[in-house]
Structure 1
Amino acid sequence: MNTLSVVIPALNEAPNLPTVVNSVPTSALRALGWETEVIVVDNASTDDTAAVAAALGATVVSQPERGYGNAYHAGFRAARGDVIATGDADCTYPFDSLPELLGTLTEADVEFMTTNRLRRENRSAMKRSHTVANYALSALSRALFRNGLRDSQSGMWVFRRYVWDGVDVKSTGMAFSQEIKNAATRAGYRYLEVPIEYRNRQGEVKLNALPDGMANLRQLFEHRFRRPGGERPARYERRHTPA
């Protein structure tokens, strides 16, 4: 069996977790040869996030230091799968598409796969101001890192575990999303961006648009001009496969 870890950061997402965790198609994945663990990272929630996740059969990882990136650092440390898949606990990402996404990962022979939410079909699921900010940050990210990715802020990725071991991602907050993409592509791993369905957010919005946007902007420049240190070159020649 192949092994898959689905890592989901969660801050006060108890009402959404039954929908999110149950949308991971573990039976269908097993039929395709994937043994799946679901990891919910409780990022210092003040509701019943941890208890609900445990009751649903997920592995609960506690990360008392808040921050989107902090949650992923803790979740990836706990992940045992040879492949890691991610997504938020707010019902926006299509975990039910994991069989197709994993099929693409293996058939296209890529090591890091990210997703593009910024399509016409998904416009109603995102506030206009957030859409504009995503387009702007993604355009700047492409200009700085020249990797062709259309959605630098997407929170759904599927990648080989060794990619995480070979990059140096420092962000503790929302900038983690763009940094892991730019780190993986910059290190030379074979990568791919594919379109996904993006769904309406359920529950409280955690994004702080202006401060998070400014932090992401600063991080792009800091990362672009950072001296190489922790990122190891990929084992294979870089190849960007367009969606």
Structure 2
Amino acid sequence: MQTLSIVIPALDEALNLPPLMKAIPVAELRSAGWESEVVVVDNASTDGTGDVARSLGARVVLQPKRGYGNAYRAGLAAASGDVIATGDADLTYPFDALPQLLRTFTMNNIEFMTTNRLLPRNRAAMKPSHAVANRALSRLSRSLFHNSVRDSQSGMWVFRDYVWRGLDVRSTGMAFSQEIKNSATMAGYRCLEVPIDYRVRAGEVKLNALPDGVANVLQLFEHRFRRTPQMPVVPSVGRHCSPDVVAASPAEELTRA
């Protein structure tokens, strides 16, 4: 039985957690050979997010230092699975698609898989201004890091646990999302991007568009010209890795030029 940790950062998401937890197909995952845990990171919530998550069967990690990256650092440190999947607590990401995503992940022998929300079918789920900003940041990211990531800001990833230990990710805020993708491709891990459905956000929007956008641009340049070399962690025995990757449509291998 393979083990999966589903790590979800949450800031004042108490109302969204019941439908989110219900959407995670634990029984289907188990039938497919995955024993799963849900790790909810309570990022200094004031609405009882941690208590609600705990009552629904999640393991709760408290992170008093606010910030998207800070929350992920705490959650990833606590995760015990051989494979880690992520997504936000705002009901935008398709946790119900995890069995399919994991099949793509394992069939293609991928180490880091990210997702693309910027598809015509998802247009109504994102404000036009946010879609334009996401595309602009993704285009800048591709030009600086010479990879083919179409959606640098997507918050749903699936990766093997050793990958996180091999990455130099420093962002404490929203730039964490682009940095983990660029770090994974720079380190030479086998990476793939796949399309997903994206849904309208439930509850209060936490994104501060202008300051977060400026911070992301600055982070891209800081990361691109960082002098610290990126060295991948080699998987230990039994991690089910081999050097061969079979590219599966419509997924796209994110090789560096």
The answer to whether the 8 Å contact 1:43/1:62 transfers is yes
Q: Which runs of 5+ in 1 are unaligned?
A: none
Name the residue aligned to 1:200.
Answer: 200
Name the residue aligned to 1:44.
Answer: 44
Structure 1 residues 30-74: Cα deviation after superposition (integer angstroms, max 9, x where no partner): 001100000000000010101100000000000000000000000
Secondary structure at 2:110's aligned position in 1?
Answer: coil
Name the residue aligned to 1:119.
Answer: 119
Q: Distance in 1 between matches of 2:192 and 2:177?
A: 15
Name the residue aligned to 2:189.
Answer: 189
Secondary structure at 1:57's aligned position in 2?
Answer: coil
- Considering only aligned residues, what root-mean-square deviation do their CA atoms show, in Å? 1.4
Name the residue aligned to 2:33.
Answer: 33
Name the residue aligned to 1:95.
Answer: 95
Q: Distance in 2 between matches of 1:133 and 1:194?
A: 20
Name the residue aligned to 2:231.
Answer: 232
Counterparts of 1:50-65 in structure 2, within 5 Å, are: 50-65=50-65
Counterparts of 1:1-243 in structure 2, within 5 Å, are: 1-229=1-229, 231-233=230-232, 235=234, 241=247, 242-243=251-252
Q: Distance in 1 between matches of 2:172 and 2:244?
A: 27
1:148 is displaced (CA, Å) by 0.4
Aligned length: 242
Q: Distance in 1 between matches of 2:25 and 2:191?
A: 24
The answer to whether the 8 Å contact 1:68/1:176 transfers is yes
TM-score, structure 2 as length reference: 0.92
The answer to whether the 8 Å contact 1:24/1:95 transfers is yes
TM-score, structure 1 as length reference: 0.97
1:233 is displaced (CA, Å) by 2.9
Q: Distance in 2 between matches of 1:206 and 1:39?
A: 20
Q: Distance in 2 between matches of 1:135 and 1:18?
A: 32
The answer to whether the 8 Å contact 1:189/1:237 transfers is no
Q: Which amino acid aligns with 1:127?
A: K
Q: Which runs of 5+ in 2 are unaligned?
A: 235-241, 253-257
Q: Distance in 2 between matches of 1:151 and 1:112?
A: 14
Rate the CA distance shift 1:146–1:237 in 2: closer, same or farther, 3 A: farther
Matched-pair identity in %: 68
1:198 is displaced (CA, Å) by 0.1
Q: Which amino acid aligns with 1:233?
A: P
The answer to whether the 8 Å contact 2:109/2:246 transfers is no
Secondary structure at 1:9's aligned position in 2?
Answer: strand
Q: Distance in 2 between matches of 1:63 and 1:189?
A: 29
Q: Which amino acid aligns with 2:130?
A: H
1:238 is displaced (CA, Å) by 9.6
Rate the CA distance shift 1:238–1:31 in 2: closer, same or farther, 3 A: closer
1:232 is displaced (CA, Å) by 1.6
Q: Distance in 2 between matches of 1:182 and 1:237?
A: 20
The answer to whether the 8 Å contact 1:6/1:38 transfers is yes
